Structure 1
Amino acid sequence: MLIRLDDGRTLQVHDTGGSDDDVTVLWHHGSPQTGALLPPLVAATAERGMRLISYARPGYAASTAAPGRTVASAADDVVLVLDALGIDTVATVGASGGAPHALACAALLPDRVTAVVSLAGLAPLHSHPTWSAGMRAEGALRAALEGRAARARYAETDEFDPDSFTEGDWAALEGPWSSLGADAGQAEAGGPDGLIDDDVAFASPWGFDPATIEPPVLVVHGGHDRMVPASHSEWLIRTLPHAELWYRPRDGHVSVLAALPLTLDWITATTAGTGP
């Protein structure tokens, strides 16, 4: 469905539907993705009686681009999505580029976010001196430091380095998470705006302090992640006041998504008694 906003923008929203008694999970997609509800997500939430929703961040799919958006801007859009769907509270899950946006919602919407899962997520750029150490390809984010125009120029010649993924990552993309790879291709075919604006947002002040997040946070990271090193989650776990770390030493950036069903069980246990 499409939500028309007062400022003239449009957000594309996806919803499996459900009753008021269901735990609702808000999925924040990676970079680049379209926000579509991927089959592994739908299956894992359906097995647990959860409602699943997501939206395409500005610049992806049919969501209007919003150059200059920050990571914190996601919270404003999420309020509009939740209000349009008549949903009071959600547990929010973000993978890779979606994880900072999930944290933003927890920081800025504590009355509407009951719990957070960060899978292979980034830490703020200036959070620690080894922020880029271990990244197979950091050129896009380094270009984003110079602003949107520089990041857009970089996009004109940027090519994905297949060694950014481990053998386990490729196996996941050829198997249970094949839909993720297909969706990334669809997002790229739709143009670079969403990814450019994501990277500029990551390389800029996020607009909130992770140390102020009150809802419980589960941080999950793979020890073989070549896209976002595990040091990012190690910083998060030292900074977030109510967080626990699930370190999966054999996983990479995509293969860590095998932990998704277990993270949903964590949400169920953590939010018991907090729903409607």
Structure 2
Amino acid sequence: MPLLRLPDGRDLEYEVQGPSTGPVALFHHGMPGSAVPMDTVLGSMTAREFRVVTYSRAGYGASSHAAGRTVADTAADCAFLLTTLGVERYLTVGWSAGGPHALAGAAVAPESVEGVLLVSSFAPFDADGLDYIEGMGAQNVAQFGTVGHGEPAMRALVAQMASAVRGNTSADVATEMASLLPPVDLAVLTAEYGADNAANMDHGLSRGDDGWVADLAALTSPWGFDFGAVVAPIELWHGAVDQMVPVTHGQWLAEHLPTAEVHLEPDQGHLSIAIGSLGEKLDVLRGRVAGRATP
């Protein structure tokens, strides 16, 4: 995949899928993840004529590590990438840990980001009135439980979790992630998406765990932007049976993002709410953007 040299000398790995003339959507991957295209995720977008840009956050895949990066720092990297690609207007899509980064993009580059699609997104770690880990499966309770105990503790737990997914089959990953998977998500992970997800994560972790550790630190530290700076229309989707990022995160975001249209799905999980349907969700967002631009 191509590498872009950033102004500070780091490399940013990226890929572009879909028609060259389609509306552009920048996709922010989960934790762990990478720029490797997943047809089960992106296919519904490219089938609707979107040109989809993926990238690997700093420390994942071939993207250079960036010590102490914030969510807003990644948004600045992405803004530079899209400018370099000659894209003046685009939508952002954030799934899971990608959600905060999609929001940050709208805050950092409001003149460029026309709309935000949030799917199963995390809320801020210090969100007032939110019990951050309530409703999470055991793996995520353990992961976020390391926060505040220093980087060595975070790195040790991430190394343990990474070894459970790196190079394993989707069935093995499903076993390791059992506490995070309600039946609807287990069905998704053990179907076609499982192989896509494994390839995406394996590439992200191919040079070590720095990206995952940096993601965990960034998610649980100040994100580096104010929600008031996000003025673009937002389509917010969250599943009520999500055990990776509980629906309470989506409810908190809904209450604090004035431009959000909220869709809380009673029978959907973290994976099932996204696979095969992101293109349709993007079309709804694109329609809102078009309506907003009409006098």
Would you call these one fold, judging by a TM-score over 0.5? yes
Aligned sequence identity (%): 34
Helix, strand or coil: the match of 1:256?
Answer: coil
Helix, strand or coil: the match of 1:272?
Answer: helix
Q: 2:286 aligns with which of 243, 268, 274?
A: 268
Q: Which runs of 5+ in 1 are unaligned?
A: none
Q: Deviations over 1:175-212 (max 9, x none)?
A: 24231233223433432111110000011111112243
Note the 1:161-200 alignment, pairs <5 A.
Answer: 161-178=177-194, 179-200=196-217
Asked if 1 retains the 8 angstrom alpha-carbon contact of 2:115 and 2:286, the reply is no
Asked if 2 retains the 8 angstrom alpha-carbon contact of 1:70 and 1:205, the reply is yes
Partner of residue 13, structure 1: 14
- CA drift of 1:218 comes to 0.9
- CA drift of 1:17 comes to 5.7
Number of equivalences: 274
Normalised TM-score (structure 1): 0.92
Q: Which runs of 5+ in 2 are unaligned?
A: 165-175
Asked if 2 retains the 8 angstrom alpha-carbon contact of 1:116 and 1:218, the reply is yes
Partner of residue 65, structure 1: 65
Note the 1:23-42 alignment, pairs <5 A.
Answer: 23-42=23-42
Query: In the aligned structure 1, how far is the partner of 2:159 from the partner of 2:71?
Result: 24
Distance 1:68 1:23, change over 3 A: same
Partner of residue 103, structure 2: 103
- Residue 146 in structure 1 maps to residue 164 in structure 2: no
- CA drift of 1:92 comes to 0.3
- CA drift of 1:262 comes to 2.3
Query: In the aligned structure 2, how far is the partner of 1:4 from the partner of 1:266?
Result: 34
Normalised TM-score (structure 2): 0.87
Query: In the aligned structure 1, how far is the partner of 2:17 from the partner of 2:225?
Result: 30
Distance 1:110 1:170, change over 3 A: same
Partner of residue 43, structure 1: 43
Give the letter aligned to residue 254 of structure 2: I
Asked if 2 retains the 8 angstrom alpha-carbon contact of 1:220 and 1:245, the reply is yes
Distance 1:157 1:18, change over 3 A: closer
Give the letter aligned to residue 283 of structure 2: D
Query: In the aligned structure 1, how far is the partner of 2:31 from the partner of 2:110?
Result: 25
- Residue 132 in structure 1 maps to residue 143 in structure 2: no
Query: In the aligned structure 2, how far is the partner of 1:147 from the partner of 1:89?
Result: 39
